[in-house]
A and B are shown apart, each in its own frame.
Chain A
Amino acid sequence: MTETLDISAVRAQFPVLSREMRGHPLVYFDNGATSLKPEPVLQALEAYYRDYSVNIHRGVYELSGYATAQYDQARESLRRLIHADPAAGEVIFTRGTTESVNMVATGWGLRHLGPGDEIVTTPLEHHSNMVPWQELAKRSGATLRYIPLTAGGSITTEAVQETIGPRARLVAVSAMSNVTGYTPPVEAILAAARAVGAVTLLDGAQYVSHHPVDVQDLGCDFLVFSGHKMCGPTGIGALYARRERLEEMDPVLFGGDMIERVTLEGSTWARIPEKFEAGTPNIAGAIGMGRAAEYLMEIGLDQIADHERRLFRVIADRMGSLDYVVPYGDAPDTERGGIYSFNLEGVHPHDVGSLLDQQGIAVRTGFHCAQPLMDHFGISGTVRASFYLYNTEDEIERFVAAVERIHGILT
């Protein structure tokens, strides 16, 4: 039997959950945008700033050595989170998923792609995993292709096979849609890419924080994700890459900390990972992200995924009984994470969001940085409820009751 989460104990770790919003206990359903932060992460951040807020790497004094060890430990925590073998791949600290994708587009893509090559992605991507490829295609002369979606926003293996052809050099897809929570057939996509020798990038921004991930099993070349969506701080993220890809990738930031030797004539680069982490890094952010990874592993990613799948089933069932609710995404719940996107017929999503706010419920409304997917659905935006380990079925009941009230007000 799967062990279930002790939700009360989990919730007690998140101070924000104890506050009210608009005079109601806060219901936080905007985890797709960012997650709340638990005490262990807050304590790790405070400990850095309060007890040893010094620079890393080159200080010859005790505190600097300690800070460096904490920073390195954070990298190790992230390696363990995604089951990366340090001999085969490495985690680079970045500012977040967007920066990680851009590093690959610029540092790897510009060096390896040219006219005649194809970059393959999908129309359901977050802009951060689409715009960099559009720009790379423009600069390199490569062609950008999209794996077509079904009407409901899913991807078939047939569509994968038809789109990833012999000219594909880079395939970049999301492991989970930030709009519908749909989890595309990643294994099939990665296998199709490998079959034609294409390099692969997996956008794990919505996935890594909610599901167990093993990059060795997946076999992807790159995996990108953010700290703030996994109970960590903002402004920190990660780029995992297989070592051979990092070795054939150019740094995109130059300066201190990333060099081996500098002369007046030129410079050589430090070893991996320092080569890709120019300047003083976000030390506290990295330590906080590492502690967040430990926290999630202590809770158990399997348990978190199960919990969110259960919440999705509850909200899909309860909202499905309201005939004026239009949900988005047609995949079965076995192919969905904890995100439920919908509209109320004839009502603007912003208005729903504002009225939910009046009842103490935080959701995201709009196009969710996924305008091509909105175009695919023929809408300008949705209301998105996105869950995490601390959300409850009672909160969903409050949410559904609020939606019923809003429908009564606005129609």
Chain B
Amino acid sequence: MSWEEELHRVVRKYYRGGREEAPGWIAAGEVIGDPTVVSNASCGDRVTVYRRPGGGAWLEVAGCAVCKASASVANRLLAERPLDEVCTIARRVLDGIAGVGETSSHDIDTELAGLVGDELAADVRSFFSLSAVPGRRRCAELPWEAVLREADVAR
């Protein structure tokens, strides 16, 4: 399977997830402070991060399928783990999408697999192919940047 076919498989797999209803605690107004908003200036896509007292966060996306799929992966992780742990994953994912050092890609893969399991790591890796597609790279990065920004705000 080519990297494009693999990317399309993953986007299709998670795209619907990106359209999931937000958790009930957002509708109930159980959020801390103003939501964090991160935008892609080149296309207007926007990720909004809502945070719940006592832990828990949710990304809402106004954007393309790649952005929604990427956010859906992040939301799955945020539903199961504390924000700090998701931040560690977010840094590895952003390194991978940025194509940081071909030589270290194995380390990123290994670390990701250790953090999220083989199946999810394989899906996340498909976004790394966008390092060669400048026009779409930011679409996949945006949700993970939002996670890091939210963590900064939370601190």
Contacts and interface: CB of A to CB of B under 8 A. Distances in A.
B is bound to A: yes
Interface of A: 348-351, 354, 365-367, 371, 374, 380-381, 410
A380 B65 contact: no
Interface in B56-109: 62-66
A348 B42 contact: no
B21 to A, nearest CB: 16
Contacts of B6: none
A354 B130 CA distance: 13
Contacts, number: 33
Given A348-B63, A380-B62, A354 B136 contact: yes
A365 B45 CA distance: 13
Contacts of B64: 348-351, 354
Nearest to B7: A354
B65 A367 contact: no
Contacts of B44: 366-367, 371, 374, 380-381
Interface residues on B, range: 10 to 19
Interface of B: 42-45, 62-66, 136, 139
Given A348-B64, A348-B65, A410-B65, A366 B136 contact: no
Secondary structure type dominating chain B contacts: loop
Nearest to B46: A380
Given A350-B66, A366-B43, 16 more contacts: A348-B63, A348-B65, A349-B64, A350-B64, A350-B136, A350-B139, A351-B65, A354-B136, A366-B42, A366-B44, A367-B44, A371-B44, A374-B44, A380-B44, A380-B62, A381-B43
A365 B43 CA distance: 9
Nearest to A22: B4
Contacts of A371: 44
B136 A380 contact: no
Nearest to A354: B136
Contacts of A381: 43-44
A66 B126 CA distance: 55
B130 to A, nearest CB: 11
A351 B64 CA distance: 6
Contacts of B43: 350, 365-367, 380-381
Contacts of A348: 45, 63-65
B144 to A, nearest CB: 18
Nearest to B62: A380
Contacts of A366: 42-44
A405 to B, nearest CB: 14
18 contacts: A348-B45, A348-B63, A348-B64, A348-B65, A350-B43, A350-B64, A350-B66, A350-B136, A350-B139, A351-B64, A351-B66, A354-B64, A367-B44, A371-B44, A374-B44, A380-B45, A380-B62, A381-B44
B86 to A, nearest CB: 25
Contacts of A350: 43, 45, 64-66, 136, 139
A-B pairs with the 4 shortest C-beta distances?
Answer: A380-B44, A350-B64, A348-B64, A351-B65
B119 to A, nearest CB: 24
Most buried by B among A348, A367, A371, A410: A348
A354 B66 CA distance: 10
A91 to B, nearest CB: 33
Contacts of A354: 64-65, 136
A348 B67 CA distance: 10
A360 to B, nearest CB: 14
B52 to A, nearest CB: 28
A380 B139 CA distance: 14
Most buried by A among B42, B62, B65, B136: B65
